């Protein structure tokens, strides 16, 4: 009975983290659309704005630690700096990729992050995925590609920026999960340690990156009260978005977070149609349906893997170490002969 209650509580927490990430991410995109568009406030300083986001996140973390709402655990400074460098390179490279490439190629580069994350997790952590998980990921990627990819134009500089963005973004998401496991640190505690470093570096470098992207310096921008309020709204939503990103990757995996990200794409397209009169074609609708089917298959596949892992863990506790190793070797040989991969991490 207690185990059943714990399982239900965990499922509710998982759903809460997922819902927080989707709602805050969609909200921040809508707020930034009004903030940055020519018809809105024309605040075209995306990298500096991200620095503001992390500054407020760092402030929330500092207050939480000071009031005892969260505990501070030790993580080596070099690991925090390394993570911040990877994360900031990801942000800058994504912005440059969007500027130098067509929207279609930019979307393709984002879609390619799922297979890149899978390969990197296999290389770094020897993590393997079942055929059903791989199939569901392919379905999700195809669905999102159908509804988002239009014109595809490639150039050398844009291709290099896209490759750097894909690699650094994938590595950043893997690092979030590995740092949490390595130092037994919670998602918010880790975020409160990395946010100040990212905020400081982005606020120092961001204005120059934005100048390269837009040809404008933020010091020359005339700030209105409406723009200031939208910046505050964007920053507030970013706090929830950052916290939920660390929560989701800590609870699930970097691949699951990518699948959740494509669910956000579907939500954004739908809200754009409802709120901003964006065109919704048969191609968009069919792509969204395919993507949602892929997400359902992915959820089912991951649940099957969890049940298999739990069953294997139960068997391990009921057997001696030698009996378990013998059984494990037998299962692996049978599995290999049938060309079926088990979705678990090998030590």
pLDDT tens for 268-307 read: 667 666 766 666 677 777 877 877 787 777 777 766 766 7
pLDDT given for residue 177 in this prediction: 84
pLDDT given for residue 51 in this prediction: 93
pLDDT given for residue 312 in this prediction: 59
Report DSSP state, residue 127.
Answer: B
How buried is 346 (Cβ within 10 angstroms: 0-12 exposed, 13-18 middle, 19+ buried)? Answer: exposed
Nearest to 86 by CA among 168, 195, 206, 174: 168
At residue 4, what are phi and psi to the nearest 5 degrees? -65, -40
Band (318; pLDDT cuts 50, 70, 90) = low
User: Do the beta carbons of residue 132 and residue 342 sit within 8 Å?
Assistant: no
Over residues 123-136, mean pLDDT = 80
Residue 113 half-sphere exposure, CB side, CA atoms within 13 Å? Answer: 30
pLDDT given for residue 148 in this prediction: 65
pLDDT > 70: percent of the chain: 71
pLDDT given for residue 71 in this prediction: 74
* Tokens encoding 70: 């969260």
pLDDT given for residue 338 in this prediction: 44
User: Do the beta carbons of residue 130 and residue 305 sit within 8 Å?
Assistant: yes
Band (334; pLDDT cuts 50, 70, 90) = very low
pLDDT given for residue 346 in this prediction: 43
Per the confidence metrics, is the pTM higher than 0.75?
A: no
Please give the residue that has the higher pLDDT: either 129 or 229: 229
pLDDT given for residue 325 in this prediction: 54
Over residues 109-115, mean pLDDT = 76
pLDDT tens sequence across 143-189 = 777 766 666 666 788 888 888 988 998 898 888 888 888 888 887 88
């Amino acid at each position: 009975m207690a185990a059943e209650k714990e399982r239900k509580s965990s499922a509710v927490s998982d759903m809460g983290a997922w819902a927080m990430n989707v709602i805050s991410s969609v909200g921040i995109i809508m707020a930034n659309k009004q903030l940055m568009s020519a018809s809105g406030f024309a605040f075209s300083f995306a990298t500096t704005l991200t620095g503001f986001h992390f500054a407020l996140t760092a402030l929330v973390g500092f207050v939480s630690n000071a009031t005892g709402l969260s505990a501070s655990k030790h993580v080596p400074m070099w690991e925090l700096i390394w993570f911040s460098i990877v994360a900031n390179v990801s942000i800058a490279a994504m912005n440059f990729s969007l500027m130098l490439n067509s929207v279609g190629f930019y979307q393709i580069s984002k879609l390619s992050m799922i297979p890149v994350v899978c390969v990197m997790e296999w290389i770094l952590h020897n993590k393997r995925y079942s055929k059903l998980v791989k199939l569901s990921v392919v379905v999700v990627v195809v669905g999102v590609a159908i509804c988002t990819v239009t014109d595809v134009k490639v150039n050398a500089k844009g291709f290099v920026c896209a490759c750097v963005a894909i690699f650094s973004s994938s590595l950043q998401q893997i690092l979030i999960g590995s740092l949490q496991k390595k130092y037994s640190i919670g998602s918010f505690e880790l975020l409160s340690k990395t946010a100040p470093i990212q905020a400081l570096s982005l606020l120092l470098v961001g204005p120059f990156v934005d100048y390269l992207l837009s040809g404008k310096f933020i010091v020359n921008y005339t700030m209105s009260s409406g723009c200031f309020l939208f910046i505050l709204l964007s920053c507030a939503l970013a706090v929830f978005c950052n916290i939920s990103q660390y929560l989701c990757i800590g609870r699930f995996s970097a691949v699951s977070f990518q699948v959740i990200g494509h669910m956000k794409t579907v939500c954004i397209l739908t809200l754009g149609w409802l709120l901003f009169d964006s065109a919704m074609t048969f191609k968009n609708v069919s792509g969204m349906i395919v993507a949602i089917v892929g997400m359902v298959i992915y959820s089912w596949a991951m649940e099957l893997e969890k049940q298999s892992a739990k069953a294997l863990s139960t068997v391990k506790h009921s057997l001696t170490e030698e009996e378990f190793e013998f059984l494990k070797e037998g299962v692996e040989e049978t599995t290999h002969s049938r060309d079926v991969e088990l979705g678990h991490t090998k030590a």
